[in-house]
Chains A and B, each alone.
Chain A
Amino acid sequence: MATNTEGVEQQATQYLTFVLRDEGFAIEIGKVREVLDVTTLTRIPRMPDYLSGVINLRGSVVPVMDLGQKLGMGPISHTKNTCIMIVELEVEGAMVEMGVLTDSVQMVLDLQAEEIEAVPRMGTNLNTEFIKGMGRQGEDKFLIILDIDRVLASEGEAALRGEMVPSVTETQEAARADAGAA
Chain B
Amino acid sequence: MSESEYGEVFREEATELLEELESALLELEKNPTDLKIVGRVFRAMHTIKGSGAMFGFDDIAKFTHHVETVLDKVRDGAVPVTKELIDLTLASRDHITALLDAATGTGAADPARGEEIIAGMQTLVAAATGDAAPAPAPAAKQPEAAPVESEAPQDKTVGQLTHYRIHLKPTAEFFAAGGGVEPLLDELRKLGECTVFLHEPQAREAGDYGLWEALLTTKQGINAVRDVFVFAESSCLVKVVPLATEGDEEFSEHKRLGEILVERGEIAPEALKEILDQQKPLGELLVEAKLVTRTKVESALAEQEMRKSQKLAAQKAKAADSIRVGADKLDRLINLVGELVVTQAQLTQVASQLGESDLVEPVEQIERLTAEMRDCVLGIRMLPIGTTFARFKRLVRDLSTELGKDVVMQTDGAETELDKNVIDQLGDPLVHLIRNSIDHGIEAPDAREAAGKPRRGAIHLSATHAGANVLITVSDDGRGLDREKIREKAIAKGLIKPEAEVDDAAIFNTIFAPGLSTAGTVTSVSGRGVGMDVVKSTVEGLKGSVSVHSSGKGKGTTIAISLPLTLAIIDGLLVQVEDTHFVLPLSQVLECVELTKEDIARFHERRVLPVRDQLVPYVRLRDFFAIPGQRPDLEQLVIVEINDERFGVVLDDVIGEHQTVLKSLGWVYRNAIGVSGSTILGNGKVALILDMPNVLKHARLEEQGAIRNIVH
Contacts and interface: CB of A to CB of B under 8 A. Distances in A.
B580 interface: yes
B708 A177 contact: yes
B663 interface: yes
B627 A44 contact: no
A92 to B, nearest CB: 8
Given A96-B666, A176-B497, A181 B686 contact: no
A137 B499 CA distance: 65
Contacts, number: 117
Contact of B666 (A59, A61, A181): A61
Interface string B659-675: 00001111111111111
B501 interface: yes
A181 B708 contact: yes
Interface string B591-626: 000000000000000000000000000000000111
Given A45-B675, A168-B513, A63 B666 contact: yes
A146 to B, nearest CB: 17
B655 to A, nearest CB: 15
Interface stretch (A11-19, A47-55, A104-112): A47-55
A51 B669 contact: yes
Contacts of A162: 671
Contacts of A65: 668
A45 B627 contact: yes
A167 B666 CA distance: 22
A45 B684 contact: no
Interface in B415-467: none
B137 interface: no
B500 interface: yes
B678 A54 contact: yes
Given A46-B626, A61-B663, A168 B580 contact: no
A96 B668 CA distance: 10
B566 interface: no
Given A42-B580, A156-B668, A172 B497 contact: yes
A44 B510 CA distance: 32
B502 A171 contact: yes
Nearest to B680: A56
Contacts of A179: 497, 499-500
B347 interface: no
Nearest to A171: B506
A175 B668 CA distance: 31
Contacts of A44: 665, 669, 672, 675, 688
B290 interface: no
A171 B496 CA distance: 7
Contacts of A59: 339, 342, 680
Interface in B643-689: 663-675, 678, 680, 684-688
Given A44-B675, A171-B496, A91 B667 contact: yes
Contacts of B672: 44-47
Contacts of B497: 172, 175-176, 179
B495 A45 contact: no
A54 B686 contact: yes
Nearest to B673: A46
A45 B688 CA distance: 10
A33 interface: no
A98 B667 CA distance: 10
Contacts of B675: 44-45
Contacts of B670: 159-160, 163
Nearest to B495: A168
B31 interface: no
Contact of A45 (B501, B512, B625): B625
B503 to A, nearest CB: 9
Contacts of B680: 56, 59, 61
B678 A42 contact: yes
B626 A155 contact: no
A113 interface: no
Nearest to A91: B667
Interface of A is mostly: mixed
A150 interface: no
Contact of B495 (A156, A172, A174): A172
A3 interface: no
Contact of A98 (B581, B666, B685, B688): B666
Contacts of B352: none
Interface in B459-503: 495-497, 499-502
A61 B495 contact: no
A60 interface: yes
B509 interface: yes
A61 B686 contact: yes
A79 interface: no
A172 B509 CA distance: 12
Contact of A159 (B496, B667, B673, B685): B667
A46 B674 contact: yes
Interface string B321-340: 00000000000000000010
A46 B666 CA distance: 16
A42, A61, A63, A65 — which one has the most chain B CB atoms within 10 A of its CB? A61
A178 interface: yes
Given A42-B580, A167-B509, A56 B668 contact: no
A177 B701 CA distance: 12
A119 B685 CA distance: 41
A72 B669 CA distance: 20
Contacts of B580: 42-43, 45
A40 interface: yes
A175 B626 contact: no
B339 A168 contact: no
10 contacts: A42-B581, A42-B688, A45-B675, A47-B672, A56-B684, A61-B664, A61-B666, A168-B513, A172-B497, A175-B497
Given A42-B687, A156-B667, A176-B497, 18 more contacts: A40-B684, A42-B580, A44-B688, A45-B688, A54-B666, A59-B339, A59-B680, A60-B663, A61-B664, A61-B665, A61-B678, A63-B668, A63-B669, A65-B668, A159-B671, A167-B509, A175-B502, A181-B708
Give 10 nearest A-B pairs by CB, closest first: A175-B500, A45-B625, A162-B671, A42-B686, A63-B666, A61-B663, A63-B668, A159-B671, A171-B506, A61-B678
